[in-house]
Structure 1
Amino acid sequence: MTKNLFRSAILIVSVALVGSAAAADCETTVEANDAMQYNTSEITVDQSCQEFTVHLKHVGKLPVASMGHNWVLSKTADVEAVSKDAIAAGAGDGYLKADDSRVIAHTKLLGGGEEDSVTFETSKLKSGEDYEFFCSFPGHHALMKGHLKF
């Protein structure tokens, strides 16, 4: 009896571990540095995620005024226009046009040593659409960008 109970417990734990390992990871951490780089150029969002969270960590030392970074997500086709409008918005608005409908999600603008997170509903994404994440600080998006796949 004890042997069967032990086997049942092992089976239950194994199934639980396999189930949790198969669960989608609905978050990621992106690091930005003083060399105007993200530590990743691609993020894949599992279609089973209803929400997705991006944690941005500015691992550099420079202040926001000289080397501020954020994480902005939009359709690839909208990146240039969003970036242009971001410059016009200025530092006071974190280099993002207020309530820009082309922006799917964004963090705040960070200086060295700071962190922020953004969670967005994946219902805003469509399979097969091209998405890009980038930094909207003036001149940064040329180097600080990547693709988000859904």
Structure 2
Amino acid sequence: MKHTRLLLTTLASLALSAFAQDAGVATIELKPDSKNPLGYDKTELSVKAGQKVKLTLNNTGSIAPQPHNFLLLKPGKLDAVGAQANAMLADPQGMAKNYIPEAAKADIVVNTKLVQPNQSETIEFTAPAEAGDYPFMCTFPGHWMLMRGVMHVTN
């Protein structure tokens, strides 16, 4: 009986520990907006600084199916990376590069690859340690002007 109680207590402790870890993960799903296929369905996201994030770009349900990606950028870098994304339209290797500008790598916190219609990709990362407003965007040609938002990182 004593061993059974100890075993049950240990199992309960492990289960609570696993639940506490899962509760600390911000789970986010983004997809094309049902009314505006060149926009995300969410334009504002909120996470805690240093929090684990599990983000799924679910490219389904659009009235105008086309590829999309997700790039989380350093604060203040939206326009610069957007201009570099526009320039990739002339790059014959743009699709192979997932329309992610090489020159912008230092400004990208995390990104998905280019996700084709009716597919999804999940990325897991740790939110930036520094609080602030981190822009996010899709860099498929012409999309970034509308398909963008802000991830608010708070303490």
Hey, what's the Cα distance between the residues in 2 that align with 1:36 and 1:25? 28
Give the 5 Å matches for 1:79-94.
79-90=78-89, 91-92=94-95, 93-94=97-98
- Number of residue pairs aligned between Structure 1 and Structure 2: 141
Cα offset for 1:61? 6.4
Q: Which residue in the other structure is 1:134 paired with? A: 137
Residues 18 and 71 (structure 1 numbering): CA distance in 2 closer, same or farther, change over 3 Å?
same
Structure 2: gaps spanning 5 or more residues: none
Cα offset for 1:76? 3.7
Cα offset for 1:149? 1.2
TM-score by length of 1: 0.71
Give the 5 Å matches for 1:44-123.
44-47=46-49, 49=51, 51-59=52-60, 60=62, 62=64, 67-90=66-89, 91-92=94-95, 93-98=97-102, 100=104, 101-122=106-127
- Secondary structure of the residue aligned to 1:84 is helix
Query: Pairwise CA RMSD of aligned residues?
Result: 3.1
Cα offset for 1:127? 3.5
TM-score by length of 2: 0.69
Structure 1: gaps spanning 5 or more residues: none
Hey, what's the Cα distance between the residues in 2 that align with 1:29 and 1:130? 19
Hey, what's the Cα distance between the residues in 1 that align with 2:63 and 2:39? 14
Question: Alignment identity in percent?
Answer: 23
Check the 8 A contact 1:62/1:112 in 2, yes or no. Answer: no
Residues 48 and 76 (structure 1 numbering): CA distance in 2 closer, same or farther, change over 3 Å?
closer
